[in-house]
Amino acid sequence: MKLHQLKALVAIHNAGSILEASKLMHITQPALSRSIKELEREVGFSLLQRSHKGMALTEEGKRVIRHANLVVESIRRLQIEAASIQDAALGAVSIGVTSLTAMLDGVDESILAFRRKYPRVKITITDLRPSQILQRLRDGSLDFAITSQQPLSRLSLDWEALGSIKGRVICHASNAQKFSKSLRTLQYGHWISLDELSDQASQFHQLFEVNGLQVPQNTVECTSVKGEFRP
């Protein structure tokens, strides 16, 4: 099993097709296909299959890709580490933020200060949902993140609390319950959640869980804060 074979698998998975992956890797499509066939022959089963959306992982491929991602990312980090030994100011860092934490006081100043100290380090900042941040921290594609994910005890990661963020429950001006101060009273109303409803560690879920309440059944998942609130 060779590194270029694993890189080929990761590239095709990320790009969605052999054509796009070959462009990203700057190699020919036949060479890329040959690497995959060699890898499949070595592991003893198919890793990719064609679908209406392009190339997709088989069930076995989905298990292999996790290991391939870790190996490719580990090699990338090793290369950066080796380069940093030669030049301590050279490298790359990937940072994950949420739409909420990106606006925290001090975040931009900290990044600018780091930039001034290490001008040759490439900084990549990606805006993601908390659940996506956790996954990318675990697979190694993020170095660290500033996230609003909670509760922290469930993360199984090294973390440090930077502060707290106050939340607000908002409604349309004509809503009959707009003066209510009880979450229990509002539990049976109609809600809009900016978090994924399937993410049980999201702020929306935790809002009710920490107060001993069930998540409202009448909830719509909305990824945009620009939607209108109706009574």
- Name the range with the highest mean pLDDT among 53-57, 124-128, 227-231: 124-128
CATH number of 51's domain: 1.10.10.10
Q: Does one domain contain both 217 and 171?
A: yes
Q: Which pair of tokens denotes residue 125?
A: 């900042």
pLDDT digits (tens, 9 = 90+) for 60-95: 999 999 999 999 999 988 888 887 776 666 678 999
Could you give the count of Cα atoms lying within 13 Å of 153 in the half-sphere of its Cβ?
1
In a domain, 162, yes or no: no
CATH number of 119's domain: 3.40.190.10
The residue assigned the tokens 């990661």 is 157
Residue 217: what residue type?
Q
Q: Does one domain contain both 7 and 77?
A: yes
Predicted local distance difference test score (pLDDT) of residue 151:
56
Is 226's pLDDT higher than 60?
no
Of 30, 63, 81, the last residue of a domain is 81
Q: Does one domain contain both 125 and 150?
A: yes
pLDDT averaged over the chain?
Answer: 83
Average of per-residue pLDDT across 33-50: 91
Q: Does one domain contain both 136 and 173?
A: no
In a domain, 202, yes or no: yes
Q: Does one domain contain both 69 and 118?
A: no
In a domain, 160, yes or no: no
Q: Which pair of tokens denotes residue 71?
A: 């190996």
Q: Does one domain contain both 147 and 213?
A: no
Q: Does one domain contain both 22 and 44?
A: yes
Q: Does one domain contain both 145 and 196?
A: no
pLDDT band at 223 (very low <50, low <70, confident <90, very high): low
Q: Does one domain contain both 77 and 9?
A: yes
In a domain, 111, yes or no: yes
pLDDT band at 228 (very low <50, low <70, confident <90, very high): very low
0.85 exceeded by the pTM? Answer: no
Is 186's pLDDT higher than 90?
no
Is 29's pLDDT higher than 50?
yes
In a domain, 191, yes or no: yes
Q: Which pair of tokens denotes residue 32?
A: 């890329």
Q: Does one domain contain both 99 and 136?
A: yes
Q: Does one domain contain both 148 and 176?
A: no
What residue numbers bound the domain in which 56 lies? 3-81
Predicted local distance difference test score (pLDDT) of residue 231:
46
Predicted local distance difference test score (pLDDT) of residue 215:
85
The residue assigned the tokens 């100290």 is 117
Average of per-residue pLDDT across 112-139: 86
Average of per-residue pLDDT across 200-204: 74
Of 81, 103, 125, the last residue of a domain is 81
**Number of domains forming the structure of the chain:** 3
27 torsion bin: left (phi>0), alpha (psi -120 to 50), beta (else): beta
Predicted local distance difference test score (pLDDT) of residue 108:
86
% of the chain surpassing 70 pLDDT: 90
What does the angle CA 154 – CA 159 – CA 164 come to, to the nearest 5 degrees? 85
Q: Does one domain contain both 31 and 74?
A: yes
Asked which of 146-155, 201-210, 211-220 is least confident by mean pLDDT, the reply is 146-155
Of 154, 181, 209, the last residue of a domain is 154
pLDDT band at 166 (very low <50, low <70, confident <90, very high): confident
